[in-house]
Chain A
Amino acid sequence: MRPPVASRPRFLNLFRISYPIGAIASIAHRISGLLLLVSLPALVNGLDYSLQSESNFLTLRTWLASPWATTILAFAAWGLVHHLSAGMRHLLMDAGIGTALLQARRSARAVILLGLLAAVAILLKGLL
């Protein structure tokens, strides 16, 4: 391997780096992906539990309507919708659609909004 160039620029103060809207959509794509990944064992666990008996199924359904579950579901909805729409945005860009700066900024904003809207919808549905 080549030794790294000693004079390469370094600027790692994360609080002073400016984050354009595309960067925020991108880092949230990673965070939501991680969130979804670590929730997989719980998902399988819940499926197993819900299939074991009717009383388990009904217990789980009642629990899902509780404020705690609603909060967790709101995070999950944000993660799922943000990751899904950010991913579709990437796929469209792979196909050459929406790669111009203005369009890319607009779609990044739309992706962030969609994710937040999904979370708010779950919160409103569960808590009202």
Chain B
Amino acid sequence: MRLFSGQRAWVLQRVTALILIAGLIWGSALLLFSGPISYAQWKSFFAGGHGATLALLCFAATCLHGWIGVRDVILDYVPQRIPRLALLSLIAVLLLASTIRLGLVIAAQVSR
């Protein structure tokens, strides 16, 4: 995918937004109406195939959505080439590292 293309980014931004709308409404309804949850429930959610997949899917959608959004913001407000590249790289590393970390955390739960 071209890093700075317009239309693909526009579509991806909206597709990931729809995934996140569904995920956020579902997740917060679950937390609001289930009352206080126990450690066992919390753990089994992320250890189960469905919970683990949903968590990873929503996080991946968040990272893609956030990358496109922050890229637009940086391109708008940071015109100088070097600060721009530095900021974009910083955000990319932050998102990639967070995704890898989440993958490891969830993998440790599922394999147990």
A interface residues with partner B (beta carbon < 8 Å): 30, 33-34, 36-38, 40-41, 44-45, 47-48, 50-51, 54, 57-58, 61, 80, 84, 87-88, 91, 94
Partner of A44, one of B39, B70, B91, B101: B101
- Interface centre among A44, A54, A87, A94, by most chain B C-beta atoms within 10 angstroms, is A44
A41 touches B105 (CB 8 A): no
Chain B residues near A58 (CB-CB < 8 A): 39
Q: Are A41 and B70 in contact, with the CB atoms below 8 A? A: no
Given contacts A40-B98, A41-B97, is CB(A84)–CB(B70) below 8 Å?
no
Which residues of B have CB within 8 Å of A84?
A: 20-21, 24
Chain B contacts to A: CB under 8 angstroms: 14, 17-18, 20-21, 24, 36, 39, 42-43, 46, 59, 62-63, 66, 69-70, 73, 91, 94-95, 97-98, 101-102, 105, 108-109
Give chain A nearest CB distance to B101 CB in angstroms: 5
Contact A37 B91 (CB under 8 A): yes
Lowest 7 A-B CB distances belong to which pairs? A57-B39, A37-B66, A54-B39, A48-B105, A44-B102, A33-B69, A44-B98
- The interface residues of chain A, by DSSP majority, are classed as helix
How far apart sit A30 and B98, CA to CA, in the bound complex (Å)? 21
Q: Is the CB of A40 within 8 A of B17?
A: no
| Sample (29) of A-B pairs whose CB atoms are under 8 Å apart | A30-B73, A33-B66, A33-B69, A33-B73, A34-B70, A34-B73, A37-B66, A37-B69, A37-B70, A40-B62, A40-B66, A40-B98, A41-B98, A44-B98, A44-B101, A45-B101, A47-B102, A47-B105, A48-B101, A48-B105, A51-B42, A51-B105, A51-B109, A57-B42, A61-B36, A80-B24, A84-B21, A88-B21, A91-B18
Query: Is A40 a contact of B39 with CB atoms below 8 Å?
Result: no
Residues of A within 8 A of B17 (CB): 87, 91
Q: Are B95 and A40 in contact (CB under 8 A)?
A: yes
A34 to B95, CA, bound (A): 13
Are B105's CB and A44's CB within 8 A? yes
CA distance A30 to B68 in the complex (A): 12
Q: Give the docked Cα–Cα distance between A48 and B43 (Å).
A: 11
- B73–A40 CB distance below 8 A: no
